Amino acid sequence: NAGVTQTPKFQVLKTGQSMTLQCAQDMNHNSMYWYRQDPGMGLRLIYYSASEGTTDKGEVPNGYNVSRLNKREFSLRLESAAPSQTSVYFCASSVGTVGEQFFGPGTRLTVL
Amino acid sequence: DAKTTQPTSMDCAEGRAANLPCNHSTISGNEYVYWYRQIHSQGPQYIIHGLKNNETNEMASLIITEDRKSSTLILPHATLRDTAVYYCIVSRVKAAGNKLTFGGGTRVLVKP
């Protein structure tokens, strides 16, 4: 099993550009999450999906949209990137509402 | 969800037990205590979680006080590879997914 995979690993954008971060898991997990981590800080939840077909806002959703494409895939879209969105983005998944979340390797995004 | 308080940093000797404290004095009865760690800039790694009873797995032990206001993560024989930032998280079980709130964590340095 590959676990949680994220693409791309690195990305540089100019202010105002858009892009989609991809996340996929092969563990048949129900719940998926997107976090961001700014330098020297802990992770903050952007959006999550408790199950296929549902999504909900986390702590810092402004400037982002998500799509739970199917049970495996959960994408994060930046419609108009801003320098404040420079961060490392982590995707995670879990079987259900209690227990371990498995994290991907992260996408390092720089917005100039 | 209840807030947690952890030391900013601590050192421990290789081969010795590492005891990481966490204060969560406002924890509610239906909130779990989770521990994750993050090595360098990798995605966080789940260590252990518990509700009321002490828990042990192949990585660590979790000791929760009887009043549940604090807990201690014990790494029984620290190795250099245990150098990481350790996060103590309190999270309520919700039907809509397990949202984790990461604070600053404890930066643990294992020394030879």
Average pLDDT, chain B: 92
User: Is the minimum CB–CB distance between B29 and chain A shorter than 8 Å?
Assistant: no
Q: Give the model's pLDDT for residue A90.
A: 98
The answer to whether A104 touches A43, Cβ cutoff 8 Å, is no
User: Is the minimum CB–CB distance between B105 and chain A shorter than 8 Å?
Assistant: yes
User: Is the minimum CB–CB distance between A78 and chain B shorter than 8 Å?
Assistant: no
Q: For residues A107 and A86, give the distance between their C-alpha atoms in angstroms, rounded to a whole number.
A: 11
| Closest residue to B103, CB basis, from A42, A59, A92 | A42
Q: Count Cβ neighbours within 10 Å for each residue of A61-82 and write b for 16 or more, e otherwise.
A: beebebebeebbbbbbebeebe
Among the listed ranges A51-55, A68-72, B54-58, B62-66, which one has the minimum average pLDDT value? A51-55
CB contact under 8 A, A4 and B43: yes
Q: Is the peptide bond before B21 cis (omega within 30 degrees of 0)?
A: no
Which tens digits make up the pLDDT trace of B59-91? 999 999 999 999 999 999 999 999 999 999 998
The answer to whether A78 touches A18, Cβ cutoff 8 Å, is yes
Which tens digits make up the pLDDT trace of A79-102? 999 999 999 999 999 988 777 899
Distance from CA of B49 to the nearest CA of A (A): 7
Q: What one-letter code names the amino acid at A111? A: V
Length of chain A measured in residues = 112
Question: Quick one: how far is CA A91 from the chain centroid?
Answer: 4
DSSP string of B38-79, one letter each residue: E-TTSPPEEEEEESSS-EE-SS-EEEE-TTSSEEEEEESS--
